[in-house]
Structure 1
Amino acid sequence: MEKTYLRKELRELLKSMDFVSNKLLVDEKAAGKDFQIYFKIYQQLGLAWEYLGQQCKYWDGYRKTREKHEVCKICGKVKTLKNKKNVK
């Protein structure tokens, strides 16, 4: 996938996830059937995020978080770091 296309799709996907989660959390009347619908939509969006994240080639590199983790600037994947103190 192209970098610009992937970035655009991930941005739209994250906006959709925010919308669904805000709608689900804010709407106190969302119980029962409505809750299940929003939950299933959010699960499907999560699967789409996972798929698009696998297409990412980490073009823009990583950024550091407050917890000193390195996270991809495009897809949000955490770079695995080995703890050198525990390696023998």
Structure 2
Amino acid sequence: MWNWQVAAQSAWRRCSSSRRRNCPPLAAQLGCDLQSEGCITTDSSKQTTIPGVFACGDCARMAGNISLAVGEGALAGVASHRSLSGLLQG
């Protein structure tokens, strides 16, 4: 069985420890679309092009701003909860 918590922690460490914008290789391995700058493509709920996979902060935008990353993290958290509950409209 795939352990999403380990994968998420690994992806987070990769993003937070790297100045490169083309963050975790996990995104490409899962098949997420990437923007030309290397950021992960997301919708307004921070869901990637792969249903149930979310990205935020420096991995999903070029801003490099802590406040924006925290806000996007909150959006992604709520959206992932809604997705697991079957409430997120795709």
- Scaled by the length of structure 2, the TM-score of the pair is 0.33
Q: Specify which structure has the higher proportion of helix.
A: 1
Bigger fraction of residues in strand: 1
Q: TM-score under structure 1 normalisation?
A: 0.34
Structure possessing the higher relative contact order (Cα contacts under 8 Å, 6 or more residues apart): 1
